[in-house]
Chains A and B, each alone.
Chain A
Amino acid sequence: MDTHDLVISTEGLGKSFDEVHALKSLDLRVPQKSIFAFLGTNGAGKTTTIKLLLGLLKPTRGGGKILGMDIVRDSVDIRARIGYLPQDTRFYEHMTARQTLAYTAQFFYAGPQSEINKRVNEMIELVGLEGKADRPIKSFSGGERQRLGIAQAEINYPDLLILDEPAASLDPQGRRDVLEVMSRLSKHSTIFYCTHILDDVQKVSDRVAIVNQGKLVKQAPIQELLSGAGDVTYAITLTGDAQNAYTQVNQQQWVSGVESKTKDGQTTWFVSVTDESAAKDRLLNLLISNGLNVLNFSRKEQNLEDVFLNIIEGSRK
């Protein structure tokens, strides 16, 4: 990937707090117009990375660029072109949502006031806060604060939107709305976000990076991550004497492993295969030819959670 196509690039970025190495060495590559999910367990270094990118923390090692500008030297210029939603959104409680958005907008725009007001109204509408725009923020619920957080992050038409746990405090409806807003915003902005909700990542993201214990352990397009997550597995539910078939299946060259579980007189096999086309052609026939009743035969779908856990486990070994 050409470095000009990258919105964020870091080289050996690291941060230590006294003896604690919160981030060891991060080489991140976030391409333009991507919805980039930054994943990791608690304390993996996600929020530290975001704060380093924003200039709220100073790196102890390495460095990075956002939109071609240095994250330490050009921090204020970078912040003029990005939007940020913190993990725990905090605003001035005495202000209303409208005042907060106008205040935020005026860090970027000196006028005209009519255009600023128009933009504020657009943002209020975007996040569905029309009925509450003129109420002080102290009366807002967690979800409403989160929506306001997204609105203020987007108020300046940012080239890059950095969201720290955007859906964390939302109910299912709120989460769905946030994902929709993210998808809409991705037409104009690159979105870099971290989350624990892997289901959401699979729905909206196109690229993923996984960080563990302060180190980047994987960075890839999400499809590549899911397809290259290891062997394809078939889940097969059977009745009958399966001993002979079990031996035969295990002996096939394209089978890398069979796991068997028995419950209520039914046996379920999880057959991992290295050659999916061979499995498609021969696995089911092999079972039937052994006189087994096949009650269910399906390809087990890989999900991001499995991939994530495998990668995290693998990185600990």
Chain B
Amino acid sequence: MSANTLNQFQLVNEKGWKRGLGNLLQGEWSSWFKSSRWWKHSLMWFSIVNVMMGTMVFASADAARKGFEGPPVLFMYGIFGGMFVAIGVMIIMQRVMVGEKEHGTAAWVLSKPVTRTAFVVSRLVVNSAAILLTSVIVPGVIFYLTLGWYSAIGWLFPVGFAAALLMFVLHTFYWIAFVVMMGTLLESTGGVIGVSMFLFSTFWYGPAVIPGLIYISPLLLIFSPSPDLFNSLPGSFMTGDPVFSWLPLISTVLSSVIFIAVAIWRFNRQEF
């Protein structure tokens, strides 16, 4: 390249592991928000979370007016806003790493001045932001408003609800990080979704057999399998009840960090 040609351009000056990160983030962001993808996902999660929860809120308000006990709205939000979202994450994210490896776009991108760490970070950051926004934060806020306006529960303390929503965010992020890690470890989407579903089922049904699992699984961040005995973390934050245990929160955050570290370590050793 001649000096004159070089002078016309401002060269990318990212250093170390961040080489290529800005453009990777921008590219991934465009694939979500400069296409129809973001509103399709928003619509899908609105239908799954808000339409279902709205129906329950109205049913609960109606039951309260008639003096009956309505459906357990906050408990059901753990299923629609937490469990369904986690399963959705596995389906949506299964191709993020494996698909790029299979299709050859990962090899193409990595033939440019890009670090592998930047590649993993870009996929993790943008997909997390997009999924959390479309499937947790926006539906969560709509649910809060629906609950305040229409349910017998009324307006929850906003900080308590924000803390509860943060638990849903961390729970979803846990599964995003796990699926990204599996995508770097495995070569097939079937394997990624299979292992993720197996772990998810273990956490969901396992505490009935091994009660200690409840402390290391992210389950309590969305849902309590025995609401009569102990509350989920969001349940405690929304109602002001004492927190049963902080261990699930600590374990979820630590596990997510480990998943990201393993994903980066593995991808840096991957051959294309």
Contacts and interface: CB of A to CB of B under 8 A. Distances in A.
Interface stretch (B111-119, B133-141, B159-167, B181-189): B111-119
Interface string A231-245: 000000000000000
Interface of A: 51, 54-58, 76-77, 79-80, 84, 86, 88-92, 94, 103-104, 106-112, 115-116, 156-159, 188
B11 A92 contact: no
Contacts of A104: 112
A51 B31 CA distance: 27
Contacts of B2: 157, 188
B105 A91 contact: yes
A86 B104 contact: yes
B271 A115 contact: no
Interface stretch (B20-28, B53-61, B90-98, B219-227): B20-28
A76 B1 contact: no
Contacts of A108: 9, 11-12, 112-113
A156 B114 CA distance: 14
Contacts of B105: 90-92
Contact of B112 (A79, A112, A159): A79
B107 interface: yes
B43 to A, nearest CB: 19
Contacts of A156: 1
What is the size category of the interface that chain B forms with chain A? 20 to 34
A94 B2 CA distance: 34
Contacts, number: 86
A117 to B, nearest CB: 12
A103 B11 contact: no
Given A109-B10, A110-B12, A88 B23 contact: no
Contact of A115 (B8, B13, B23, B103): B8
Among B2, B10, B114, max chain A CB count under 10 A is at B10
Interface string B18-44: 011011001100010001000000000
B261 interface: no
Contacts of B246: none
B107 A86 contact: yes
B201 interface: no
A90 B113 contact: no
A56 B272 contact: yes
Nearest to A89: B108
A122 B111 CA distance: 22
A54 B111 contact: yes
Given A56-B110, A56-B271, A88-B104, A106 B115 contact: no
Nearest to A52: B271
Interface of B: 1-2, 5-6, 8-13, 19-20, 22-23, 26-27, 31, 35, 103-105, 107-108, 110-115, 271-272
A107 B114 contact: yes
A21 to B, nearest CB: 15
B187 to A, nearest CB: 14
Contacts of A88: 104
B5 A157 contact: yes
A110 B10 contact: yes
A90 B114 contact: no
Contacts of A86: 104, 107-108, 111
Among A89, A104, A107, max chain B CB count under 10 A is at A107
Given A90-B104, A107-B112, 14 more contacts: A56-B271, A57-B271, A57-B272, A77-B113, A91-B108, A92-B27, A103-B23, A107-B12, A109-B12, A110-B11, A112-B9, A116-B9, A156-B1, A158-B1
Contacts of B13: 110
B9 A115 contact: yes
B266 to A, nearest CB: 14
7 tightest A-B CB contacts, nearest first: A90-B104, A157-B1, A80-B113, A107-B112, A56-B272, A84-B111, A109-B9
B107 A56 contact: yes
B32 to A, nearest CB: 11
A104 B113 CA distance: 10
11 contacts: A57-B272, A77-B113, A90-B107, A91-B108, A103-B23, A106-B12, A108-B9, A108-B12, A108-B112, A157-B1, A159-B1
A106 B26 contact: yes
A137 B45 CA distance: 29
Contacts of A89: 108
Contact of A107 (B20, B103, B104): B20
Contacts of A188: 1-2
Nearest to B13: A110
A181 B107 CA distance: 24
A242 to B, nearest CB: 60
Contact of A79 (B5, B104, B111): B111
B68 to A, nearest CB: 50
Given A106-B26, A110-B11, A76 B108 contact: no
